[in-house]
Amino acid sequence: MGLRNKDLLGLKQLTAEEIMEILDTAKTMKMVLTSGNKKTSHLQGKSVITLFYENSTRTRLSFELASKYMGSASANISATGSSVAKGESLLDTARTIDMMATDIIIMRHSHSGAPHFIAPHLNASVVNAGDGMNEHPTQALLDMFTIYEKLGSLEGKKIAICGDIYHSRVVRSNAIGMKKLGADVSIYGPKTMMPVGIENLGCRVADNVADCVKDCDAVMGLRVQLERQHKSLFPSVAEYSKFYAITPEMLELAKPGALLMHPGPCNHGVELPTAVYDCDQSVINEQVTNGVAVRMAVLYLLMARRNQI
């Protein structure tokens, strides 16, 4: 069946069938990734460029490794050290990369909608690696893949997401994608970090952490994004961790053995104590591995789409 569009801009644009195709392809890619020989030839003779206007460890490195494991030429451009620092516009930068016969551009940008803006101007496929506070589709895909792999399905599963909802592109992509796969998503965070109308994504806004995590199959903490806050949205870290953190006591309210997740990077002692981050139920490290498998799947399916065109 494959993907319908040349770009992967958000989970808003994907059908449930397309999401499942990515997750099933990621299963195969994880077998390759965890085998003795990670090399495939799916992207041989192709080029993948990561264009990052914001910092990243997991997303950028996993895309770079994924493309290299699959045999493509790959390179990275970041805002510092490129002609972006001389004032070159986003569109000129993207067109310049496109004109080097690039097949796929992976872009992270601080402005919501930046990848949607450049995609129609380019021959290359554009993958959104996080745009402002809008979406982070491949993070949500790896989160969903982790639940799919561990629990067999997302249909009917109860998922809790707690933390800085306002600034989180991860929560938006997850709420959209998980609903498409039939999960029930509850969210909770400080009122000052809860965007108006978030329930329109199809998730329930809980009354407190206990209400959010009760009887859930998976519990996800979100990072407090201090770099996006222009004024303090909570009184102190001590109060935040008292009222909004996923503590061992809160995790006990979820189903026995519920998955403990976090997209990373984590502020230890703020959204999660280290004891929870490292607990037996934590799949945070597996999420990182799954990020490579899911990004291999995304690159594979986008290249298959390009080959059709």
In degrees and rounded to multiples of 5, residue 222 shows phi and psi of -120, 145
56 versus 112: smaller Cβ distance to ligand CP = 56
The 125-131 sheet, strands edge to edge: 73-78, 47-52, 104-109, 125-131
Q: Which of 199, 203, 198, 196 is nearest to 178 (CA)?
A: 203
When asked if residue 177 is in the footprint of ligand CP (CB under 6 A), the reply is no
149 versus 184: smaller Cβ distance to ligand CP = 149
Task: Out of 25, 47, 59, 125, name the contact with ligand CP by CB under 6 A.
Answer: 59
Task: Out of 6, 46, 58, 158, name the contact with ligand CP by CB under 6 A.
Answer: 58
When asked if residue 56 is in the footprint of ligand CP (CB under 6 A), the reply is yes
Min separation Cβ 29 and ligand CP, Å: 19
From start to end of the chain, where are the E strands? 47-52, 73-78, 104-109, 125-131, 158-162, 184-188, 204-205, 218-221, 259-261
Min separation Cβ 169 and ligand CP, Å: 9
* Maximum Cα–Cα distance across the chain: 55
Min separation Cβ 227 and ligand CP, Å: 11
Which residues, including other chains, have CB under 8 Å from residue 185's CB and lie 6 or more apart?
159, 160, 161, 174, 175, 178, 179, 202, 203, 204
104 versus 253: smaller Cβ distance to ligand CP = 104
182 versus 265: smaller Cβ distance to ligand CP = 265
Tell me the per-residue interface mask from 179 to 208 with ligand CP, x by CB under 6 A, - otherwise: ------------------------------
160 versus 220: smaller Cβ distance to ligand CP = 220
Min separation Cβ 86 and ligand CP, Å: 25
Query: What percentage of the chain's residues is helix, strand, coil (to nearest 5)?
Result: 45, 15, 40
Bridge partner list, 73 = 47
Give the tokens for residue 190: 């400080």
56 versus 82: smaller Cβ distance to ligand CP = 56
Min separation Cβ 1 and ligand CP, Å: 28
Q: Residues 155, 161, 164, CA angle at the centre, nearest 5°?
A: 150
Question: Which 8-state DSSP code applies to residue 136?
Answer: -
Question: Which 8-state DSSP code applies to residue 285?
Answer: H
159 versus 253: smaller Cβ distance to ligand CP = 159
CA distance 177 to 197: 17
Give the tokens for residue 39: 């090399």
Tell me the per-residue interface mask from 251 to 280 with ligand CP, x by CB under 6 A, - otherwise: ------------xxx---------------
When asked if residue 285 is in the footprint of ligand CP (CB under 6 A), the reply is no
Tell me the per-residue interface mask from 75 to 114 with ligand CP, x by CB under 6 A, - otherwise: ----------------------------------------
57 versus 153: smaller Cβ distance to ligand CP = 57
- Interacting positions 135-164 with ligand CP (CB under 6 A): 139
Size of interface with ligand CP, in residues (CB under 6 A): 9
CA distance 258 to 255: 5
Chain residues that interact with ligand CP, rule: CB under 6 A? 56-59, 130, 139, 263-265
